[in-house]
A = this chain, B = another copy of it.
């Protein structure tokens, strides 16, 4: 997995209690066009504050990420730590510290172990290599059980363009405007303004349509760096080249978002809640999101229980306008409720088989209008509790 113009490295700096890779450096050969979106949580981690500020320049050359500590709720010292660790990285890379974007994920409210990061930086910088993408994607994991990466190579804008991304996240996932940690790299040449716009357009069909537990993180960050090494004509305004690049980005980000849901804490089953026939776009989204978030629907899926009544109850409190006696609900291709009422034991048996496949669509038709939307989510199992009741210990 090589993205022309970028090098990567990871190391075990001793930040995670359990050990393992926990510090990654991602570096462009020269300053890259850059854009980012961040958490909408009022409580923002120090690296979010610093990265957001530095991205105003529209360029960046390095990303320094640690797992095991969120550097959130850490006050002025947290900002100082984010600043100091990126300064040290910049020095080793011989670039301006303003070109280094920090990102952190892990426990909230504990001081960042900056000395450990400082001690690990020299060998981390020395290890940078074009093939280090996968090891970097491993170093940003927390409760994730596997790394999430996606890569696309396509001939667009008159060149063979590579676009690759990595993401981490398994709990505290209910992104809004941004996501947990997502880093996207391309060798296309594009203006930072275009990168930002494409990011914002890709979110509603990727990370803003997934939920694991409804908890929006303090550290959600998505960064998009373009090295320009493909030497295409700079994409700097709307038009076919921008659309082509946007399609690649949506594909990569959609793929990563699916991987995040599939690796949801304790998840054994993933499903898409698709709402059709809503009275407005907002109604469609509210209905899909409320059903996707319902713990009672999630636990029913964990038990392979075709308890569509819980879906009706969730729809009813969602705020979406509809007539309960018109609602159709299908699991996969099997209609289980028609006009708000059960279709009987046979339909139920077929729907149960759909749940047992482990990956399926719940299709809800409100018959209230022409709008649709969706949300991807996972079931809620005893393992979610086990993981989160003991996360810090």
Which residues of A pack against B, CB within 8 Å?
Answer: 40-44, 70, 72-75, 107-111, 171-172, 174, 176, 213-218, 293-296, 299-300, 302-303, 305, 307-310, 312-318, 320-322, 324-325, 337, 339-342, 380-382, 384-386, 388-393
Contact = CB atoms under 8 A, between A and B. Distances in A.
Contacts of A325: 75
Contact of A42 (B44, B171, B174, B324): B324
Contacts of A322: 42
Nearest to A342: B109
18 contacts: A41-B313, A42-B322, A42-B324, A73-B309, A109-B308, A214-B293, A215-B310, A215-B313, A215-B314, A216-B317, A295-B295, A296-B388, A303-B389, A303-B393, A305-B393, A381-B385, A381-B389, A384-B385
Contacts of A296: 171-172, 213, 215, 388
A313 B390 contact: no
Given A41-B316, A73-B341, 11 more contacts: A43-B312, A44-B324, A72-B309, A107-B307, A172-B313, A215-B313, A218-B312, A302-B385, A303-B393, A307-B391, A382-B385
A178 B385 CA distance: 29
Nearest to A75: B341
B109 A309 contact: yes
Contacts of A320: 42
Given A308-B109, A309-B70, A384-B299, A316 B218 contact: yes
Given A215-B295, A307-B391, A310-B108, A42 B386 contact: no
A301 to B, nearest CB: 8
A126 to B, nearest CB: 34
Nearest to A336: B109
A299 B216 contact: no
A307 B388 CA distance: 10
A294 B324 CA distance: 29
A52 to B, nearest CB: 15
A391 B380 CA distance: 14
A72 B309 CA distance: 8
Contact of A386 (B41, B44, B213, B382): B382
